[in-house]
Amino acid sequence: MDERHRRLNLRAGATMLAALSGLTFNATAQAQEAQPRQVEAAPSPRQVTPLMDGWRFHFGETPEAALQQDFDDSAWTSVSLPHSWNRMGNYAPERAEGSDVRQGSGWYRLNLPDIKPPEGKRVIIQFDGVGAIADLWVNGTHVGTHKGAFSRFRFDISDYLKSGQTNLLVVRADNSKPGPGSTTEHVIPLGGDFFVHGGLYRGVSLLTVDSAGFDLMDHGGPGVYVSTPSITAEAAKVAVLTRLRNTGRKPRRLSLTTHIADADGRIVATSMQPVALEASQAREITTALALPKPRLWQGRSDPYLYKVTAELRDGKRIIDRVTEPFGVRSFTIDAGRGFVLNGQPLRLHGASRHQDRQGKGWALTPEDHAEDMAIMAEMGVNTVRHAHYQHAQEWSDLADRTGMVVKAELPFVHQSAFDDGLSAPELLANARQQLTELIRQNYNHPSIMLWSVGNEIDIGAAIAALQRGGKGEPAKSRDMLINLDALAKAEDPSRPTVYVDCCEAVPSPLARPGAQILNDVTQVIGLNRYFGWYYGQPSDLTAALVDLRAKYPGRAMGLTEYGAGGAFTQHTDNPLGGTVHANGRPHPEEVQSWVHEETWKVVGSSNLLAGTWLWNMFDFASTSREEGEAYDLNDKGLVSYDRKTRKDAYYFYKAQWSQEPVLYLTGRRYVDRAYPVVDVRAYSNASSASLTVNGRAVGTVACPQRICVWPGVKLAAGENELSAQAEREGAQLTDTLRWTAPDAAAGLNIRAGHLTGITTSDGLRFGSDNFFSGGRASGLRLAGRTRLAPSNVTGTPDPELYGSYRAGEFSYSLPLPDGLWTVTLHMFEPEIDAAKASARAMTVQANGKQVLTGFNPASAAGGSLKAVTRSFPVQARGGQVMLTFSGGEGGAVVSAISVQPKR
């Protein structure tokens, strides 16, 4: 690209509004149609040849001879596109066989027939996405390099093709792990909680075009850019900026026709004007059109789309044509009214989405994109966050048609340097390149309304400092963020910018003293806040939002990430019964639901947030994680990695957001229940719901905040059928599930202080902590990143039963059939300090009668971290036994409670 054209491109966005102010919207320079007319489009003047099949692939070192036609690639693998060599992420505690987390260079070869273009034509190769650096050779000659895994890019290969022979394409895709001295050292992203897949993971095609046409070298953009300077009920003023280029050696005298068609294909506005293109010239033309009585793009309620078509003619012959989607809408986002679409406030509620999928990585088909969008639309979202990079054009087309409001993102995440210093000039240049590509390639999508120029860009330095025991300077990324924000505003003044913050004013070890303030750079503040998961309680979010609003009163805020991990095979009877091990195991599905329920109580009614995006719509690959039931997966998705299973929390939001009638019983994967008495829950947008168990009516309850709860429901021994019924807008709703339950006559076994149960060496099953009031749940020891270390309690064949405990002042109300029972308390002294251990004096009451007085676990066991039990008889009356624990200054401790029939 010549320097003049580069400067022109960088100025274009900044000067567009000024240019539009001088436009007149009349028939002087255009032939405006009085009545709509429908025309059939002529065949495309561009010859498009998909290059999806016939590729040969090899990963790793490749001899230079592979660039030549006579190289024998028969040992290489035959592949079709889209293709990535990476596959990872599975629901198992270890990495699955067949996973491929290799990073490095993958090589592709493709033989093309004789395609030398005729006189006056050019051949352009288009790559829709290559992870992460692409190099292209044609017939042994290096054509060019593109750095960035997410953008479309093109090369003119006309002069490298040879007539009368097969032509060889060789592509190297390099997704080497970024680091000092690596090939990706200066390519964003430098890190992040997702994996950059290698390969030709999107489509590749050849475009045979006239030497004069819409500029295909405009950072991968369409060369046609549509905006609406003003909109009224009577007319919308439409400005169409076209970037043209003549790559030929002769001047051209052409004409440009621009028209708008409605959704039925009728032409509703048109313009025609002469165009002169000198040899090797690039120029811009802005055309003004008036669209009478426009039908607005109204988000999910009416995502109405027009199409803008620009045609370039040489005489009567059409030599190039581009058609782009176009939605007429106005929007603002500010601190006072939040997000406003077409003059009406619209509360944005949605989710983030990563583009990978189990068994495919990033190599998605159009059907995969459509399924993702359908799942999100079913849940009732009205906004999508593209995490954390440019998504496929097929996906953004779906967002346009579905009516989603989109926050599109630059992959400037995690860090801006490897040494906590200032960003390297090469890295800034690459980020500017990728941001320009993001904006130009997506400018015409009406769904996109926010440009995100950074996400948690200081967190990498904070994590590194933690790993070094708190040593190290905070990141110095502010200057780079300011630079990118200015570029985004120059490229597109019509859309606000947003930075997504992780750590300012958050009670987290990642909130480092002396960290640069970044939330005052962009027009909108995005907040990633994980109260109730990584820190604090969901209710703490209220004060955090109030404090940030006071600090940034003039900026709109959005909650861009919140949520929790959720496993399909790990369950709890009470999400408050134990300590969350966010970076370890387990991740009970019920805890995920609880975090979302409690967080939504805050954000669903807050007037401080213009929008919310939960994290995440789908489980996604991340090689830094060994959590929950998964390996190489972030399990915060509401839908499984293969899209086949929706977690309970998915239906919580469907009940909140969807217009469809919803009734869903939770806990359907927790089939084999630990206790014969349970709280039954359902999500519904009906006002009330009824429950039957084995045909027996339990009762009708109200469903405040779309949550229906039947407390203390008794199950029969063995299989139980639970059925819920409700009515919503005349629709009769029913949902049914089956659980198996233990025999109530066999008693109860409770694992105190833990979110999941355990089966002991003698086959006795303990459920997770439940039926308690007060106290605090504690884990014996934590390993790195809050992973629970193995219990080191001695004197028992089951040390893990003593790996957690409830401490302080607390009680247990145990649901038991009337009769005589034996209660066994499993205890140990967790304090290593001898003075503290000897000071503990526990008192335990059963139904108000003292059964232990001044009990000291260390003295009874012969030291700290040694198991000890005490048993006593108790009479259950009215279906209950009440155990009360106290212990003075040190409090009481109990690791498990076993209640069995007295013999």
pLDDT digits (tens, 9 = 90+) for 182-195: 999 999 999 999 99
Pull the structure tokens for residue 793.
């309690």
Mean pLDDT of the chain: 93
> Would the pLDDT of 5 be above 70?
no
Considering only residues 722 and 779, tell me which one the structure prediction assigns the higher pLDDT.
722
Neighbours of 463 (CB within 10 A): 17
> Residue 239 and residue 16: Cα distance in Å, rounded?
9
Residue count of the chain? 903
Q: How do residues 112-145 score in pLDDT, each as one tens digit?
A: 987 878 889 999 999 999 999 999 999 999 999 9
In this predicted structure, the answer to whether residue 28 has a pLDDT above a threshold of 70 is no
* Per-residue pLDDT at 779: 82
Output the pLDDT for position 765. Answer: 97
Say which CATH superfamily domain 677-741 falls into: Immunoglobulins (2.60.40.10)
Token representation of residue 430:
């690459």
Q: Please tell me the predicted confidence (pLDDT) of residue 39.
A: 54
CATH of the domain spanning 747-901, picked from 3.40.50.300, 2.60.120.430, 1.10.3860.10, 3.20.20.10 = 2.60.120.430
Structure tokens at 230: 């003003």
| CA–CA dist 458, 512 (Å, integer) | 10
Q: In what order do the strands lie in the sheet with 317-326?
A: 37-38, 266-277, 252-261, 306-314, 317-326
The CATH superfamily assigned to 3-29+214-326 is Immunoglobulins (2.60.40.10)
- Pure H helices in 662-758: none
Task: Provide the CB-side half-sphere exposure for 226 (13 A, CA).
Answer: 27
Q: Are strands 620-621 and 383-386 parallel, antiparallel or unpaired?
A: unpaired
* Side-chain half-sphere CA neighbours of 87 within 13 A: 11
Where do the CATH 2.60.40.10 domains begin and end in the chain? 3-29+214-326, 677-741
Strand partners, 827: 868
- CB 856 within 8 Å of CB 841: yes
Give the pair of three-digit tokens for residue 410.
Answer: 């630059």
Q: What is the pLDDT of residues 677-725, one digit of tens each?
A: 999 999 999 999 999 999 999 999 999 999 999 999 999 999 999 999 9
CB neighbour list of residue 614: distance below 8 Å, 6 or more residues apart: 350, 351, 352, 561, 562, 563, 596, 638, 653
Domain with CATH 2.60.120.260 in the chain: 47-203
- Give, for 870, the enclosing helix (H) or strand (E): strand 868-876
Helix axes 393-402, 366-379, angle to 10 degrees: 30
| Residue 667 C-alpha from the chain's centroid | 24
Q: How many CA atoms lie within 13 A of 32 on its CB side?
A: 15
For the cut 90, the answer to whether the pLDDT of residue 507 exceeds it is no
pLDDT of 23 higher than 80:
no
pLDDT at position 739 is 98
Work out the average pLDDT over 557-578: 98
Instruction: For residue 558, give the 3-state DSSP assignment.
Output: strand
Q: How far, in whole angstroms, is CA 230 from its chain's centroid?
A: 34
116: CB partners within 8 A, 6+ apart: 161, 162, 163, 164
Assigned token pair, 730: 């005349």
Residue 440 confidence (pLDDT): 98
In the numeric block, the tokens 């054009």 are attached to 393
* % residues pLDDT > 70 (the chain): 94
Q: For residues 318-326, give the mean pLDDT.
A: 96
What 3 state SS string does 706-734 have?
HEEEEEEEECCCEEEEEEEEEEECCEEEE
User: What pLDDT digit, counting tens, does each position of 208-262 carry?
Assistant: 999 999 999 999 999 999 999 999 999 999 999 999 999 999 999 999 999 999 9
Residue corresponding to tokens 């005489």: 315
Do 578 and 807 touch, CB atoms closer than 8 A?
no
Which secondary structure element, helix H or strand E, spans residue 441, and what is its range? helix 425-442
Position 20 pLDDT exceeds 70 = no
Average pLDDT estimate for 824-842 = 94
Residue 519's pLDDT is what? 96
What local confidence, expressed as pLDDT, does residue 499 receive?
98
Confidence of residue 903 (pLDDT cuts 50, 70, 90): confident
Identify the pLDDT of residue 511.
84
Q: Residue 291: pLDDT above 80?
A: yes
635-684 pLDDT, tens digit per residue, is 999 999 999 999 999 999 999 999 999 999 999 999 999 999 999 999 99
**Residue 387, CA distances (Å) to 384, 487, 613, 658 in order:** 9, 20, 11, 23
With residue 230 as reference, give the H or E element that holds it: strand 224-231
Whole-number percent of the chain with pLDDT over 90: 87
Using the predicted structure, report yes or no on whether residue 33 has a pLDDT greater than 60.
no
CATH number for the domain formed by residue range(s) 47-203: 2.60.120.260
Angstrom distances, CA of residue 559 to CA of 485, 541, 706: 20, 10, 21
* Catalytic machinery residues: 456
Q: Are strands 105-112 and 55-59 parallel, antiparallel or unpaired?
A: antiparallel
Residue 736 confidence (pLDDT) above 60: yes
Tens of pLDDT along 860-890?
999 999 999 999 999 999 999 999 999 988 8
DSSP H or E segment with residue 589: helix 589-603
In which residue ranges of the chain is CATH 2.60.120.430 found?
747-901
Q: How far apart are CA 97 and CA 85, in angstroms?
A: 14
Distance between CA atoms of residues 198 and 532, nearest Å: 35
- DSSP letter at 646 equals B
Residue 470's pLDDT is what?
73
Structure tokens at 32: 């405006």
Q: Tens of pLDDT along 743-776?
A: 999 999 999 999 999 999 999 999 999 999 999 9
Given pLDDT bands bounded at 50, 70 and 90, which one contains residue 544?
A: very high
**pLDDT tens-digit series, residues 593-624:** 999 999 999 999 899 999 999 999 999 999 98
Strand segments (E) across 278-386: 282-292, 306-314, 317-326, 331-334, 338-341, 344-345, 348-353, 383-386
- Please give the pLDDT value at position 37: 61
pLDDT tens column, 136-169: 999 999 999 999 999 999 999 999 999 888 999 9
Of 181, 169, 127, the closest CA to residue 150 belongs to: 127
The predicted pLDDT at position 12 comes to 45
pLDDT for res 31: 36
What tokens appear for 213 in the block?
Answer: 């046409």
Higher-scoring residue by pLDDT: 250, 466: 250
Q: Which residues contact 354 (CB under 8 A, 6 or more apart)?
A: 194, 387, 616, 618, 620, 621
Lowest mean pLDDT: which of 15-24, 441-450, 635-644, 789-798? Answer: 15-24
Mean pLDDT of 387-400: 98
More confident residue, 508 or 540: 540
Rounded CA Rg of the chain: 32
Separation CA 136–CA 146 (nearest Å): 9
Residue 854 has pLDDT above 60, yes or no: yes
Q: What is the mean pLDDT of residues 527-554?
A: 96
Is residue 293 classed exposed, middle or buried when 0-12, 13-18 and 19+ CB atoms within 10 A define those classes? exposed
